[in-house]
Amino acid sequence: MVQVVDVSPDAGELPRTGTPGRRWGVRRAPALWTGALALVVGLGFVLVSLAFNDGRLFGPLDDVYIHLQYGSQLGAGHFFRFNTGDDISAGASSMLYAFVLGAAYAIGFHHTLLLAFAIGFNVCCFAVASASTCLLATRLLHRTAGIWAGLLVALSGPLAWGAASGMEVGLAMMLVTGLLLTFVTEQDAARFRWTPVVGALLALVRPEGLILACALTCAVLWTLWTRRGLAGPARTVRRAVWSLLPAVAGVAQLTFYKLATGTFSANGIQSKSLLHDQPEFYVSQFVDRAGATLRTLFGIFLGFSGQEFTFPGGLLVCLGGVAYLLLNRRLRPLVLATLAGLGGAVLSLSTLDSALLHELRYFQPFLPLFVVFVVAGCTGAAQLIARARTRRLALHSVLAVVLAFSVVALPVWSVRYARAATAIRESDVSYAAYLRGNVPPDATIAIKDVGAVAYLGGHHVVDLLGLGTNGFAEAANNEIGSLYEAVRHLPPERRPDYFATYDTGPGPSMKPMRDVGVLEQPALASFDVHAPEDSRGFLMVPFRVFTVTKADWSLVDNGDAAPVPGDVRDHLNVAYLTDEKAHDYAFLPAQDGLQPFTSLAREGDVIDSGRHILGGEEFTLHNAVPGRAATLTARVAMHGTVPEANLLVNGKPAGKWVREGRDSTWETYTFTIPAELVDSDTLHIEVRQPRPVLSPYPDYISYGYWLTQ
């Protein structure tokens, strides 16, 4: 029997061959063995790491242990509490993955077994993603394309690295490929039973997964609309409502963040987003920084400056594949939605200051779709060849070259994975072991890389970067002065007894806290990181020296006392974010792009934090007695050549305030506000530069203001 199949680009249906039942295994065989190959590759990465680490298992990222901590807490019944007794926090980058780890912990995967589960689970998800990619490319193109796509995913070094990392990469990858495969499977009947379910899971696994899931929801709604005659109006409406499940899941997750942390974003977003990672937000600066990330990203996937993630010209071939698939009218809703979802995800990720770190792990879950489009591009190019035999030979030859780039790089990626695990063993895991054996078990420890110390150390921890501890992300992004204030305003019983930190980023240097005596010297212990760098000179941890010091809070409240006599009506503690918000404090920059980072200083027994001001400030003071003269006192360290500033009270000029700089840590300056300007119990104060736009500008560190009468 001869079967004639229309395989033209405008064909409404994909080619169908064979019958179900007996031939199911034959048709699915390529997907099964590509999945098995991916499983072998992922486990091979783990074996290489074990060989590097004397047969012991370690995660290649400290972030892995953050997930393990949240998972173990969930499994023990402490719902999203990084420490037992803490408030609910949103430091885990994947809500769904935290529940997966929590379930594993609840059934007995504890300590290193939970890490083994995390790695094994994601490697299995990687295998499923490879098989799903094979089936997806088969449905979109043909069986040969499916085999090549599955092979390229299974033998991808970056994907194996991400899957074996123990992060949610493998799970997200499986849901990304599964979402598209489920869509094309259910598209013909226009009955999307499982597509919304997979989309909802993807929305819960990563924030950018929500973007892709919502884009695919649009494709579902379009398909239901164009096929509405098949099901009737009532049934179409019910199916459309069901298709909104991913959006409902996304809204529920954002609502949880709002209720738990007071914002609609997870703690990691508050810590790493270019929207929040500096005191002042400037659109021009944001566009410049995000654009730089995008340019670097495009360069990586063009492959002209290196072939670590793709072959030379990979992005161009990918775009060609998108164009080729768009020729098929039936596939256009899926391709356009996928393109929109990927574009939105890339734009969203480019707004993170960590977007290019950790081997692009945020982008790794979407790489199988990049592979599918690359295979489609090669297939489309091969269609330009007239002779069928030559066309097949050309397609196999080109894809073999693409595969060769992956195979050659695969051993390099396995060594990178092993070296990353070695670096974590030499640093975060080792420090956790030291703290567990040398610090009292009831002590509280403040730390930057919080994952391993929290999970393995057994102490109550304060996350100075704000992932596991609410409210600290914004403080850390304002630098050391605000971070000090956030720590010292913790309840006394929760203030850290020890600091286990480093001076390099992320987060501010701890040197100012040592200089003012909050961190006792000499340090209790200091460690050098001896882990070898990889071939690029990279080390997975951002520091080379790690110190453990005891904290001294004996002078903690001395900075709040008024430096002048009188009845204190109000006090603004500059650099303490909570107090600044209560007083409507704002920095008035002399020019666009200036940042009022905070610092820390000590004069005698007084320790205080301040902001570096280049321009002016405004704020609101309360509790004044109307009709009585008031004294405004400032603690300031003046720099530069402009000592004067214009002072306005409730919008009215009060005079020129001259604050001459002196050779000291800071000085106290006063200004008498006339009684006629104290016309209410609230005074809005503006300290403005005398010559707007033109330099030089007032340059000083502002520590605080007191209103006395």
Q: Are residues 357 and 312 in the same domain?
A: yes
- The answer to whether residue 637 scores a pLDDT higher than 80 is yes
Residue at 430: amino acid letter: S
As a whole number, the mean pLDDT across the chain is 90
Q: Let me know if residue 21 belongs to a domain.
A: no
Residue ending a domain, choose from 379, 397, 417: 417
Q: What tokens appear for 401 in the block?
A: 């070259």
Residue ending a domain, choose from 513, 528, 550: 550
Q: Are residues 294 and 441 in the same domain?
A: no
Is the pLDDT higher at 451 or at 232? 451
Residue 451: pLDDT band by 50, 70, 90 thresholds?
confident
Q: Let me know if residue 681 belongs to a domain.
A: yes
Q: Let me know if residue 95 belongs to a domain.
A: yes
The maximal CA–CA distance of the chain, rounded, in angstroms, is: 104
Q: Cα dist. 382→15, 145, 426 in Å?
A: 19, 12, 50
Q: What is the pLDDT of residues 87-144, one digit of tens each?
A: 888 877 789 999 999 999 999 999 999 999 999 999 999 999 999 999 999 999 999 9
Residue ending a domain, choose from 520, 550, 580: 550
Is the pLDDT higher at 233 or at 114? 114
Query: What range defines the domain where residue 563 resides?
Result: 558-708
State what percent of residues in the chain have pLDDT above 90: 73
Q: Let me know if residue 6 belongs to a domain.
A: no
Q: Are residues 634 and 680 in the same domain?
A: yes
Q: How big is the chain by its Cα radius of gyration, in Å?
A: 30
Residue 2: pLDDT band by 50, 70, 90 thresholds?
very low
How far is residue 458's CA from residue 115's CA, in Å, rounded to a whole number?
16
Number of H helices, E strands in the chain: 24, 15
Q: Are residues 528 and 589 in the same domain?
A: no
> For 215, how many CA atoms within 13 A lie in the half-sphere containing its CB?
23
Q: 10 Å Cβ neighbour count for 229?
A: 9
What pTM was computed for the model?
Answer: 0.89
Q: Are residues 212 and 153 in the same domain?
A: yes
Q: What tokens appear for 708 in the block?
A: 């006395």
Q: What is the pLDDT of residues 528-572, one digit of tens each?
A: 888 887 778 788 888 888 899 999 999 988 889 888 888 999 999
- The answer to whether residue 8 scores a pLDDT higher than 60 is no
pLDDT at 15: 39
Query: What is the average pLDDT across 585-593?
Result: 94
71 CB-near residues (< 8 Å, 6+ apart): 97, 98, 100, 101, 102, 104, 105, 114, 118
The total number of structural domains in the chain stands at 3
Q: Are residues 221 and 302 in the same domain?
A: yes
Q: Are residues 460 and 607 in the same domain?
A: no
Q: Let me know if residue 240 belongs to a domain.
A: yes
Residue 173: pLDDT band by 50, 70, 90 thresholds?
very high
What is the C-alpha end-to-end distance of the chain, expressed in Å?
102
Query: What is the average pLDDT across 485-494?
Result: 93
- The answer to whether residue 655 scores a pLDDT higher than 90 is yes
Q: Let me know if residue 432 belongs to a domain.
A: yes
Q: Are residues 594 and 661 in the same domain?
A: yes
How far is residue 322's CA from residue 71's CA, in Å, rounded to a whole number?
39
CATH number of the domain that residue 640 is part of:
2.60.120.260
Q: Are residues 73 and 221 in the same domain?
A: yes
Q: Are residues 346 and 278 in the same domain?
A: yes
Omega into 522 within 30° of 0, i.e. cis? yes
3-state secondary structure of 309: coil
Residue at 137: amino acid letter: A
Query: What is the average pLDDT across 475-496?
Result: 94
Q: Let me know if residue 599 belongs to a domain.
A: yes
Query: What is the average pLDDT across 216-226?
Result: 93
Q: Are residues 265 and 383 in the same domain?
A: yes
Asked if 190 contacts 145 with a C-beta cutoff of 8 angstroms, the reply is: no
Instruction: Please count the residues of the chain.
Output: 709
Q: What is the pLDDT of residues 27-51, one digit of tens each?
A: 568 999 999 999 999 999 999 999 9
pLDDT at 14: 39
Is the pLDDT higher at 678 or at 386? 678
Q: Let me know if residue 10 belongs to a domain.
A: no
pLDDT at 27: 57
Cα-to-chain-centroid distance, residue 709: 48
pLDDT at 3: 38
Residue 7: pLDDT band by 50, 70, 90 thresholds?
very low
- Report angle CA 37, 40, 42 to the nearest 5 degrees: 110
Q: Are residues 283 and 138 in the same domain?
A: yes
Residue at 397: amino acid letter: S
DSSP secondary structure, 83-98, as one string: STTSPP----S-HHHH
Query: What is the average pLDDT across 455-482?
Result: 92
pLDDT at 271: 85
